[in-house]
Amino acid sequence: MLLFENIILALNGVKANKMRSLLTMLGIIIGIASVIAIMTVGTSMTTSMSETMSSYGANNITMGVSQKSSERETMDDGIFFEWGPRKQNLSDDDYIKDDMLEALMEEYPDRVDECLLEASVGDGQALDGDLYANVELRGVNDSELNDQDLTIVSGRLFTEKDQAEGRKVAIVSDYFCNNMFDGDTGNAPGNEVSVFINGKYYYYTIVGVYEYDADSNWVSTSAEDTSTTMYLPLKTAFDFSHIEPRYNQVTIVTSSSVTNVDAFMEEIETFMNRRFYRNNESYEISCSSMSSFMEEMTSTMSTISMAISFIAGISLLVGGIGVMNIMLVSIQERTKEIGTRKALGATNASIRVQFIVEAMVLCFVGGIIGIALGTALGTLLSKQMGYEASAPLGAILFAAGFSMVIGVFFGYYPANKAAKMNPVDALRYE
């Protein structure tokens, strides 16, 4: 019998016994749907997070000061020496300084484009009579400010003189203006505001207003109480604290010539530690990047998805056993049909192929239903979690193929049993 005829015969069998076929396929449907749904949610989360991190600069390197690990050496006489972190708090000599960054850029002029620098001043409150606005004061250099990709709605960014002289100027948000200037962002630039912080009042002149992105920031139930960032020139922030510029963490923007970020991170660590932290007993320079974090995140998500999919795959095994069981029942019911076909000259191979094809069609139909259900469920869950749904095509194709493999694997034994049936005994079967 031709393959096409076997498929038609199998489909007719499914339609003739709808409830039995559905119950038989249930394990296949649940298993495939679970795997597809899990893979869809995992892929959607990974894709969304990767896109978000890429927008922050996937090739940027974060260089920071970290504690050295403790080490212990035991001598032959049993006496041990232990060394490592001698102190918990950073001293002035432990921080990254401007001269270190200049040396780094001189060492790698073609691979380091710029350094993003910032200094946190603290949380405060702008006050004007009964009016107030909560703010987080943060000093930034021009590179860091440009990296924020602010949308300026009125006024300007900082000038070179603002940065070099440490002028007491500020860039505030439109939320700030809603509280302090009745929403008139155009009237804010040029006005002086007083900010109460650390028990004292400090005065800054507003030079620019940026649009606050409420969608990408946490906003309190009361818009009036929402704290937004007030940007200051970097030198102004350090002058506030009466300290020389220093950083415990710096973001390095690499050039397009850097193709292997991980290798370049190791080079930076080696250069900085050998040149500036060789004699530092407690601290050293360590680097990380978005790309390495993304790889770790993707690997973790894949491991979790595979583990859950493996558990869901158990239902596929149960479904396969159900298919084998129903095929044995079907062969028992069709014993005379098999005997008649063999008496008319059907070979063992044709009988075997017929029942294997039936099992494959049964599993394939269940797989298609499972794929549709799993894709719909995965899409719904992804959207509920706030991610753009992304169904993995590879997983769908694999699920469809795997369902047919299950049909072959669990259908072979019943098919082989039918093929080896004695036609005389089959014709006598009641």
96 exposure class (CB count in 10 Å sphere: 0-12, 13-18, 19+): buried
Cα separation, 385 vs 41, in Å, equals: 9
**Residue indicated by tokens 């350094």:** 115
pLDDT tens, N- to C-terminus, the chain (430 residues): 466 676 776 677 667 677 777 777 787 888 888 878 877 887 777 777 666 655 555 678 999 999 887 654 444 554 444 455 555 678 888 999 999 999 999 999 999 999 999 999 999 999 988 899 999 999 999 999 998 889 999 999 999 999 999 999 999 999 999 999 998 999 999 999 999 998 899 999 999 999 998 765 555 545 667 899 999 999 999 999 888 899 999 999 998 888 888 889 999 999 999 999 998 988 999 998 876 666 676 677 677 767 766 766 676 777 778 778 777 777 777 777 777 777 777 777 877 877 788 888 888 888 888 888 888 888 888 888 777 777 777 777 877 777 778 777 877 777 777 777 766 555 555 5
343 and 423 Cβ atoms separated by less than 8 Å: yes
366 and 403 Cβ atoms separated by less than 8 Å: yes
Cα separation, 391 vs 374, in Å, equals: 9
Cα separation, 288 vs 301, in Å, equals: 20
**Could you tell me the pTM of the whole model?**
0.61
- What CA–CA distances, in Å, run from 99 to 102, 163, 245, 249? 5, 17, 10, 15
Q: What SS3 class is residue 40?
A: helix
So where are the chain's domains? 3-52+294-428, 92-288
CA-angle at 405, arms to 18 and 330, nearest 5°: 40
β-bridge partners, 253: 114
Tokens describing residue 378: 């995965």
